[in-house]
Amino acid sequence: MTPLRERARAPTPAELDSIPWLRALDEPDRHRAADSLMVATALPGDRICRVGRPPTYWFGVIEGLLKMSNDSRGGAQVTFTGIPPGAWFGEGTLLKRETYRYHIEALRKSVVAGLPMAEFLALLDRSIPFNRFVMNQLNERLGQFIAAREIDRQSHPDVRVARNLAALFHPVLYPGVGTLLRITQQELAYLVGLSRQRTNEALSALRSRGLIRVDYGGVRVLDLDGLRRYDNEAGTNETGRARQ
């Protein structure tokens, strides 16, 4: 298999238009960044980032779905989060100039963009709009991982699916998703850490409450706030059933 870097090419105009931070730059910086960007098609199982490797690019997802996971050599593999279209990730590793502490792997055929580390750092030095974007990313990501800790403590499968779905529809971190996430039930089950059958049961419960609609090839969110609050609702319902 040809290494991902050797499959890289220049982005198309449509791919450039899908990059949220690029639109915020002034014209000279926008042209310079666009000239530096490269994209490549990652196949299922391709690793974009590896534990222990030094960073060379700031990465983003144009199309497809990636996952972030731990190094499983010392124990069971843990999936931290899914990374859908519109996401840009790894800025913390670049800023700290440390090696990756996680793997990033393609769950399906995906188009991944990369901005060279040197250009990323140069934009931070000279562009206020870029600094604002990166600071907002870091702030939102902190909130996301705090929420992920709360999800890990949830034992109710319906709650886990609801909260994980809500995280994948984050409008700031994943602006390319919109209201429809292209994901299979098997992929979602993998990200949540449940069986496909139990994930399907949870999706049915969420659909019955009018929170989502399962479309062909994906999940459409009808009530994002409802998904985020579902922990309280489900907990109350479970308590009520237990008392009965």
Per residue in 209-219, pLDDT tens?
Answer: 999 999 988 99
Which token pair is 23? 């639109």
Per residue in 46-57, pLDDT tens?
Answer: 999 999 999 999
Residue 79 banded pLDDT, cuts 50, 70, 90: confident
Q: Where are the domains of the chain?
A: 4-148, 155-243
Identify the sign of the CA torsion 189, 191, 192, 194.
positive
**Chain centroid offset of residue 49 CA:** 14
pLDDT score of 235: 45
Architecture of domain 4-148: Sandwich (2.60)
Architecture of domain 155-243: Orthogonal Bundle (1.10)
Contact yes or no for 113/89 (Cβ under 8 A): no
Using CA atoms, how far apart are residues 18 and 111, in angstroms rounded to an integer? Answer: 12
**CA of 200: how far to CAs of 78, 115, 164, 227, 237, in Å?**
21, 38, 14, 16, 19
Contact yes or no for 148/119 (Cβ under 8 A): no
Using CA atoms, how far apart are residues 41 and 227, in angstroms rounded to an integer? Answer: 32
For residue 5, pLDDT over 50 is answered with yes
Residue 1 banded pLDDT, cuts 50, 70, 90: low
Q: pTM (2 decimals)? A: 0.84
Average pLDDT, the chain: 88
The 3-state DSSP class for residue 152 equals helix
Task: Let me know the angle formed at the C-alpha of 21 by 225 and 3, rounded to the nearest 5 degrees.
Answer: 100
pLDDT score of 50: 93
Least reliable range by pLDDT among 63-77, 89-103, 180-194, 207-221: 63-77
